[in-house]
Amino acid sequence: MHAAPEAEDEFHDEIFPFVPAPEDGSRWQAPADLEEHLYELREADDAYTYLRAVAVAGLYRPVALHEKDPDADASPLLTVDLPDGRKAAQVYTAGLLPRPHPAVVYEFVTLGALAEGCPDDVDILVVNAATPCEQYYLTTDEERQVWADLHERHHRDGGLGDRIETRRTGAPGPGPLLHGLACGAHLCFANGDPWNTLYWHGAGHRNEVDRLAESWGVAGREDWLAVQERLLTREVSPWYWDFVLGARLAVLAEVGPRLDPERWRECVEVTLRNRVVETGGPDTPHRPGDDPELDDFVAAMRGLVGKILRYEARFRADELLPPDGFVRTVAAWDIGRASKMARWGRGARYATEAELRTAVERTSHAARAAYASWEEFSAGYILGRCLHFDDESFGSWYTDVLHAHRALTSDPDSPWLTVPFRSA
């Protein structure tokens, strides 16, 4: 594993959260809904309900990066010695995690894991220390049994997915950076991730590393750089998806809005066979029956026309497309994943902050070059996802992202209703 080389200005002092209360005594603006809830519970002195809330959401613990054993399941809890001789361990909720630091990462931990693995010499667990919603708990056997019970009753892996999570503080202002972050909204919704933060810790450092390795084959910085670039240049999805969609646009330019599907299929076949001649010379076999391998590919591309038409018919029935709408390009499938890949790379510490920003801005420019609205972008993303995974089963690969589309196009908190697709 190779960490990203950090620029000099990324060696900052924001190792742990430090969020003072407003000096004028006004109400604190929490970074997200969970911290707002915890702030209210602390003000009400309701430590038990506070604990139940963090049992649901989980916590993050700081770990010195140079001390991490990549082969170990867990690193020791970071502790501090208090003036009275007691020892305290610090953990935080997601919305309060600071800007990533070169020397420290944050690992996800459940309240149940803390109940089981908190060292015997730790006397106090501090949640969100040095913030307006800090809370303290003793680590007695009785108290830790309460933690274990709350975890068992309330925590569910993946239970906070399928929702829009927006940061109220620390997000970039309007512009390509914020727009590029919004391009990853499908995946942010599915995972319950904040869509508008650059302070990316994701599911915790180890989990981000594992996610990239298991889902993308990314085992280090060089792998991440290669995959990120391929997504940004739309080279991960098969080229022939947009080739087939482009053939329809060519036919429509000739014949107008009423399209005969057979005319579309013929355009696909003729164009493919002509390209074989152009690249191989006039004597290259290209007529039906000359080259069985080419014939099979042409048949598959003609079949892809029908598959796209059937998906679009379903999209229109589900109001994902307007009654006369169709998908012009599936570019959004790579662009949307590029937006999240930039953040995943940062969470795994393969990407610098500057590389994250540049990649996210590039997703914005690519999306605006290919689409005119968030609705068009979403339809292209969903068709790409369905062609990749669904195989016309119209199962969860389709229904889950349809649910995301409906939320993202209707929820007042959605980036697609707060970030204009086109800049003014």
pLDDT tens, position by position, 213-263 = 999 999 999 999 999 999 999 999 999 999 999 999 999 999 888 889 999
Both tokens of 382, joined, read: 């969903």
Asked if the model's pLDDT at residue 71 lies above 60, the reply is: no
- Average pLDDT, whole number, for the chain? 93
Please give the pLDDT value at position 165.
97
Q: Please list the residues that pair with 73 across neighbouring strands.
A: none
Please give the pLDDT value at position 8.
45
Average pLDDT (130-151) is 97
pLDDT band at 6 (very low <50, low <70, confident <90, very high): low
Q: Report pTM.
A: 0.94
Average pLDDT (203-220) is 96
- The pLDDT > 90 percentage for the chain reads 84
Average pLDDT (268-278) is 92
The 3-state DSSP class for residue 254 equals helix
Please give the pLDDT value at position 344.
98
DSSP 104-128: EEEEEE-HHHHHHH--TT--EEEES
DSSP 383-417: HHHIIIIITT--SHHHHHHHHHHHHHTT-TT-HHH
CB-CB contact of 95 with 167 (8 Å): yes
* 91 contacts: CB under 8 Å, gap ≥ 6: 59, 60, 61, 109, 114, 125, 126, 127
Please give the pLDDT value at position 78.
86
Please give the pLDDT value at position 87.
95
pLDDT band at 287 (very low <50, low <70, confident <90, very high): confident
pLDDT tens, position by position, 355-388 = 999 999 999 999 999 999 999 999 999 999 999 9
Please give the pLDDT value at position 2.
65
Please give the pLDDT value at position 9.
52
Question: Which helix (DSSP H) or strand (DSSP E) does residue 63 occupy?
Answer: strand 59-64
